[in-house]
Amino acid sequence: MKTIIVLCALFTGATIYVTVANKNSKQMTTRQKILKAFYPLIMKSGKKASAANVDKIQPLVDFYSYTLLLNDSSQLPLSSLKGKKIVLVNTASDCGFTAQYEALQKLYDQYNNIVVIGFPANDFQHQEKGTDASIASFCKKNYGVTFPLSMKGVVVKKEQQEEIYKWLTHKNFNGWNDQAPTWNFCKYIVNEEGVLTHFFESGVPPLGKEMKEALGLDR
């Protein structure tokens, strides 16, 4: 069927938006089509800072003591993931990095020893306004997401911050890292023993060299 594409570029700093109207789109707003169309360029300009636990500092609070409430109201005890590497990512449906869902799903599908968990949050420019049900539907229909998604919550440092993000972003919990997400799609890696090993900003691709090295996939 015929696809109509309308391009309208707007430059704000290093961010580029494109309007794409596609009658075959699944469940995307015009803004979401815009961002997906220009995702490769957005990735080139995204922040790529990272941090690593080079001294192998152990956590002060047990990572496996937490239980996540997923967006289907089920519970996921993190103790059930012992022996696996875990990638924890704060997500949003209306962000320039939303297309990372596709690569995160590939990571989850291709490696049995890696679990990806998404944490939808509306903390950055109100880019996740949906309900838990609409978020799950959007992710499944547009990116085939089957990895766990938590209930929508707060990942930045404020009173309502999710408990697991308090652990990820306070060194008096995880042992060394105080870095909170700087934007949507920041990644934290926890190893098979419940130790926080890495933090990556949004511009680091889920299947890029840095992430693969951190996950031990290039060995």
Annotated catalytic residues are 95
- Judged by DSSP in three states, 81 sits in helix
Q: Is the dihedral of CA 168, 173, 177, 179 positive or negative?
A: positive
Locate all alpha helices (DSSP H) within 76-204, ordered by sequence: 100-110, 132-143, 163-169, 171-174
Q: How far apart are CA 69 and CA 29, in angstroms?
A: 28
Other CB atoms closer than 10 Å to residue 139's CB: what's the count?
25
Element (H or E) spanning 200, and its range?
Answer: strand 196-200
Burial of 13 (0-12, 13-18, 19+ CB in 10 A): exposed
